[in-house]
Amino acid sequence: MLPMGMRSKRENRDLESLVQVRLVNNLWYSIEGEQRFSIFHVIFLRENDKLVRDLKHLGWSGDSLYKEARKIMSAIYQHIVYTEYVPAIIGYEAILRFGLKSTRDGHNTMYNPKIDATTSNVFATAAIRFAHSNLDTFENDIFQGFSPETFQNYSNIVTNTPSSYTFFTRFQTKTDRFITDFIRNKVWESEPKNSVDTMSFDIQRGRDHGLPSYNRWREYCGLRPILHFGKGIMGFGDHTLGAIKALSSVYRHPEDIDLMSGAMAERPVSGGIVGPTFACLLGQQFALFKTGDRFFYENDFYQTGFTKGQLREIKKQSLSSVMCRHVNVPAVPQNAFISPKAGEPLVPCMTFPKLDLREWVLHG
């Protein structure tokens, strides 16, 4: 994708429909959410467009060109999710527990036609909402060299501005019971003090969807229920004293605690950023997505899968390698989901393997 001035009028209209913005309380916001979300949309769109161009040079054409590019793009995305994103969220122990570990090379067919891969109510309504705790304030971006006009400038999303580089240079906020003031009090603020409290909205959504209490989900995950506001036997073993005090100030009894409130207040599991309850619910759902998907990228099926050589190339890819191809930065972390430690150098983009499409050359 090119900057706005270098694109046709039709392309500009298409881009505007992708990243529409609106003025809210004198600040411009992307209608679909953060501008940073739009950057990811554009990066993966660029990757797909590059795949189409490269496959076309290898002899692919027509509908098969479109389908193969989509197939490869989906596989790269799945590989990033299952080898980088999910492990960083739920930790290695949960990865092993739910059979989510991918092989370094070759196929790993785990498809079961009897598995229902439907997204569960609890996953969509609560568990995946853990990320609302990670959201920082947009104002930080504005104060660190951005201006309100930035959100009106569509081209900033498709050009290589510092917006993209903040993914690698800034730490996200911790996943815990503490939510930034902006997320609680200023999201979609149409006028002063008229906004959406995202976390209150999440808690109420769980009630609207009929989610059982926090204790019921602990039992569902094989964790013991909590019977009193204390640290002793049958008390809070996965929470700090501060979290226990906060929960007891709002709820009369542990049985009354909403899933979102209880799970977000848990200490994170080893190697992850969520507590044991959400690690369970997230891990279980991603396992269903994997085993219930006939088109999962590791499946060894002749018509829908990849050859060993093709799969080898896909498994060389990472979010860092994709970002390097489409964002003008010289170096990135080895794992884009994990911030490098103090003093740890970034990895030069030239060292990341490119996707070698010679495995897709058409013969005959």
Residue ranges of the annotated binding site for heme b are 132
- Taking the C-alpha atoms of residue 236 and residue 183, their distance in angstroms, rounded to an integer, is 27
Contact present, 217 and 281 (Cβ < 8 Å): yes
**Number of Cβ atoms within 10 Å of the Cβ of 334:** 13
Per-residue tokens: 225: 């229920």
Phi (first) and psi of residue 79, to 5 degrees: -65, -40
Per-residue tokens: 340: 């490098």
Cite the beta strand spans of the chain per DSSP E. Answer: 21-24, 27-30, 187-191, 194-196, 331-332, 347-348
Residue of 127, 138, 117 lying closest to 281 (CA atoms): 127
Contact present, 311 and 297 (Cβ < 8 Å): yes
Contact present, 211 and 259 (Cβ < 8 Å): yes
- Taking the C-alpha atoms of residue 105 and residue 109, their distance in angstroms, rounded to an integer, is 12
3-state helix, strand, coil in the chain (%, to 5): 50, 5, 45
Q: Binding site residues, as ranges?
A: 132
